[in-house]
Amino acid sequence: MINVDRLVQTFTALVEIDNPSGQEQAMAQAVIRLLSERGLAPQQDAKGNVIARLPAEGPPLLLSAHLDSVAPAVGKRAVVDGEVIRSAGDTVLGADDLAGVSAILEAIQATQERGNSHRAAEIVFSVEEEVGLRGVRALDFSLLSARQGVALDLNGEVGGICISAPAHDQITVTIRGKAAHAGVAPEKGVSAIVVAADAISRMPLGRIDAETTANIGTIEGGAARNIVPEQVKLVGEARSRDEAKLDRQTAAMRQAFEAAAERHGAQVDFQAERVYGPQKIAPDAPIVQVCQAAARRAGLEPYLTETGGGSDVNVFNMHGIEAVNLSIGYQEIHSTNEHIAIADLEKAARLIFALLEV
Ligand SMILES: [Zn+2]
C-alpha cells in the first residue's frame, strides 16, 4: 500500500531541486535515478522528456506528469505545516506538478511491493509543460505504445476526471505605420498605436461563449514621446473547446487587424499558430470508465470536469492516445501561496495505485 512518509519524503526532496521551464536537467536526473532504482529502465528523448516502463501483460496505461514549475522555481523549500505542505513563501511550491510526479513514483513502488500481477504502464515525465507544452509537443512518440493514458496535473478534489480542454491559437501581430515628428508634421505619420487601438476596440475579446475565450496579452511599441509610433507588436491568444469556433475567433481577430490597417494606411503581419488541439473525451469513453472504477476502488468519489486550460493530455489525444487529466488537489498554483494537503497527495498516489490494479 501507499507509504505516506516515503511519498512526502520524495515530494519534499523533489521540491528542493530547481526546475524552471527549460532548466529541468537536475530534476530529470533525480527522477531517472528514482526510476532506475525501481528497475524501470528510464530513458530521455532528444528534448529531455523522461520515458520509462513498468512491464506486464496487456496494453500499457500511460501515466504522465511534468517536471517543470512556473517561476519563481529556484531555491524552493517545502515546509510541512501540520497536514499541509507549502513553500517557504518566496517561491512556488511546485506541487504543480511535482505532486503528480511523486504520486506516480510512489504508486509504482507500492505496486511493485504488492507483488501481484498489475497493469503495464508507460511513464512520461515531460519538460517545458508550462511554456506551451513544448516538451510533449517534441516528445518522441515512437517510444510509446499506450493507447490510453492519464496525466496528474489538474486542480480540484482528487477524483476529478477532466474530459474537455480547449484548443489554443497563439497570435503574434506586428503593425507597421509611418514615423513622423509628432509636433512638426504629425499628418505625415501613421500611428501604429492608433491602428492597434482601433483594431482591438472592434474585436471580439474576453469570454466569447461558454467554450471560447480570447485575449490580447501584451502590447509594445513606439520609440519616443515626440515620434508618431511606427511599429507596435502584440501577442494574444484564442481558445475554444470547439475547433471550428476557434477558427472563426482567430479569423475575426485577423480581420479586425487587417481592416484597421487598411483604414489607416498601415501594414499588418498577423501570425496564428495552433499550439495544440482540443481534448474532447466522451463521458462514457473507456478511459473514463477505467478512471471511475479505479477511483471507487481507492475509496474516492469520481466526478467529471472540464477546464479552460490546456495540458499535456491535449497533445496525447492529438497522437491518438485517449487521455484524461486527473485532479490532484493542489491549491493556489502559480503563486507563492501554493500548497497541497498531505491527504490529497496520498489520495492521488492511491488513485494511480488503483489504476495499476488488474
Ligand atoms: Zn501543471
What residues contact 246, with CB distance under 8 A and at least 6 apart?
A: 166, 167, 168, 169, 212, 238, 239, 240, 274, 278
What is this structure's pTM? 0.88
Last residue of a domain, one of 240, 260, 276: 276
Distance (angstroms) between ligand 1 centre and the Cα of 333 equals 8
Single-letter code of the amino acid located at 111: T
DSSP 302-334: -EEEE-SS--HHHHHHHTT-EEEEEE---BSTT
Cis before 90? omega within 30:
no
Say how many Å lie between the CA of residue 314 and the centre of ligand 1. 13
At 87, which helix (H) or strand (E)? strand 84-87
Do both 147 and 188 map to the same domain?
Answer: no
Catalytic residues: 68, 129
Beta bridge partners of 235: 172, 218
Q: CATH number for the domain including 334?
A: 3.40.630.10
Q: How far is CA 104 from the centre of its chain?
A: 17
Q: What is the pLDDT of residue 121?
A: 98
pLDDT of residue 308: 86
Q: Are residues 132 and 85 in the same domain?
A: yes
Distance 137 CA to ligand 1 centre (A): 15
Domain boundary among 276, 306, 331: 276
CATH of residue 250: 3.30.70.360
Domain boundary among 208, 241, 276: 276
Buried b (16+ CB within 10 A) or exposed e, 257-278: beebbeebebbbebebeebbbb
From ligand 1's centre to the CA of 159, what distance in Å?
17
pLDDT at position 129: 97
Check if the beta carbon of residue 198 is closer than 8 Å to that of residue 243. Answer: no
The parts of the chain modelled with pLDDT lower than 50 are: none
What was the pLDDT predicted at 341?
A: 98
Show the domain range for 235.
167-276
Rounded distance from Cα 97 to ligand 1 centre (Å): 5
Radius of gyration, alpha carbons of the chain: 23
Identify residue 319 by its one-letter amino acid code. H
